[in-house]
């Protein structure tokens, strides 16, 4: 099911997201719907607040779709500047410096813990979506 995407300045985009206590069927459905919504919008990432859910979940679609629940970035190495847009801020793009390589820990859609290393665009995408869970948006990087 395609979900509505919240646009700036919707206040939900500024909320700090709470941890997901249990990965139940509702969360699995939410993850599936978020992936569908991201793909239909031609995005490469979508975070909970962007669909009005103030919970620590985001999905990415850089390679194949991936779900991150209660994510933690445990390592950041180097730096890389990429032009980024956001489905909640249509038409805006900013050059943003982020870590080039990261290590992430999270739960998948089945509630199982996983760890991965990402680089370049995938790393930027994860850091962008991770920002959403803290209420941080790309406009906050503008000097
Ligand atoms: Zn975004």
Sign of CA dihedral 103, 114, 95, 52: negative
Do residues 2 and 37 lie in contact, with contact meaning Cβ atoms separated by under 8 Å? yes
Do residues 68 and 129 lie in contact, with contact meaning Cβ atoms separated by under 8 Å? yes
User: Would you kindly state where each structural domain of the chain is located, as residue ranges?
Assistant: 11-140
pLDDT at residue 4, rounded to an integer? 98
pLDDT at residue 142, rounded to an integer? 80
> Out of 15, 84, 119, 129, which one is annotated catalytic?
129
How far away, in angstroms, is 137 Cα from ligand 1 center? 7
Say which CATH class 11-140 falls into. Answer: alpha beta
Active site residue 117: no
pTM above 0.75, yes or no: yes
**Paired strand residues for 76:** 102
Task: For residue range 104-123, list pLDDT tens digits in order.
Answer: 999 999 999 999 999 999 99
Residue 143 has pLDDT above 80, yes or no: no
Task: For residue range 46-68, list pLDDT tens digits in order.
Answer: 999 999 999 999 999 999 999 99
Number of neighbours of residue 111 by Cβ within 10 angstroms: 14
Task: For residue range 4-48, list pLDDT tens digits in order.
Answer: 999 999 999 999 999 999 999 999 999 999 999 999 999 999 999
| Three-class secondary structure of residue 66 per DSSP | strand
């Amino acid at each position: 099911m395609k979900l509505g995407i919240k646009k700036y300045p919707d206040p939900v985009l500024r909320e700090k997201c709470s941890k997901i206590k249990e990965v139940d069927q509702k969360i699995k459905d939410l993850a599936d719907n978020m992936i569908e919504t991201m793909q239909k919008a031609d995005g490469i990432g979508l975070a909970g607040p962007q669909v009005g859910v103030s919970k620590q979940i985001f999905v990415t679609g850089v390679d194949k779709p991936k779900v991150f629940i209660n994510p933690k970035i445990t390592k950041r190495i180097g730096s890389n500047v990429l032009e980024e847009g956001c489905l909640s801020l249509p038409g805006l793009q900013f050059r943003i410096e982020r870590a080039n390589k990261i290590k992430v820990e999270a739960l998948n859609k089945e509630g199982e813990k996983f760890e991965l290393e990402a680089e370049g665009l995938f790393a930027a995408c994860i850091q962008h979506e991770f920002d959403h869970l803290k209420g941080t948006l790309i406009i906050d990087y503008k000097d």
